[in-house]
Amino acid sequence: MSDPTLPSPRTGNTQWPDWNWSEQDLSGYPPYSQRVGSAVRAPHGESLILDDPDVLFTDGTIIVQVEVKHSIGPQAMPANILWSPIARMLMSPTRYRTEWLSHVSDMNYERHECLKRRDIRGARWAVLRAHYYSLPRSLLLIPVGFLLHQLRHWLGF
């Protein structure tokens, strides 16, 4: 009751104008305030770092006042090609540096240019293109050979 961090209708606190505040509401649930720091993962994967939100527990309702201090967007994070670890194992270090990492840097450049224009679809296509072009063509023989083998089995030749 005497907690100064609580809003009070008597003092004309307009922070929460819809708040139905009364003595009776607080009788069974003594309010208290707690200062916590927490992190929230947004649906799109963005990490929001919350700094000292005020949490008030009342009659089963939790009001969280948050302030976003810093936001790390997906634009700031460089993308990588999914099969880079495999390429690193199979390629020589020189070839990995000269051929593979150039594809990765091109992808990041194109993605960054698209994101600057707010072209999200173009940025996704840039990542997909890099995956396609970085794939060694000899590896494409594996699915092609598999399909030909299946066709030979199905068609009986």
Partner 1 sequence: MLNGKSWPSGKELEVLRLLQSAGSGMYGLELVEKSHGAIGRASIYVYLSRLEEKGFVTVKRPVTADHPGMPRPIYRINGLGERALAAAEDIGLFGARARS
Residues that bind partner 1 (CB under 8 A): 75-79, 94-95, 98-99, 101-113, 129, 132-135, 137
Radius of gyration over every alpha carbon of the chain, rounded to an integer in angstroms: 28
Nearer to partner 1, 56 or 87 (CB): 87
Nearer to partner 1, 63 or 104 (CB): 104
Nearer to partner 1, 5 or 98 (CB): 98
3-class DSSP string for 34-93: EECCCEEECCCCCEEEECCCEEEECCCCEEEECCEEEEECHHHCCCCCCCHHHHHHHCCH
Nearer to partner 1, 9 or 136 (CB): 136
Q: Least distance to partner 1 from the beta carbon of 115, Å?
A: 9
φ/ψ (deg, to 5) at 9:
-70, -20
Q: Least distance to partner 1 from the beta carbon of 94, Å?
A: 8
CA-wise closest residue to 21 among 35, 2, 8? 8
**How far is CA 120 from its chain centroid?**
14
Q: Least distance to partner 1 from the beta carbon of 91, Å?
A: 11
Q: Least distance to partner 1 from the beta carbon of 47, Å?
A: 16
Run of H or E including 142: helix 137-155
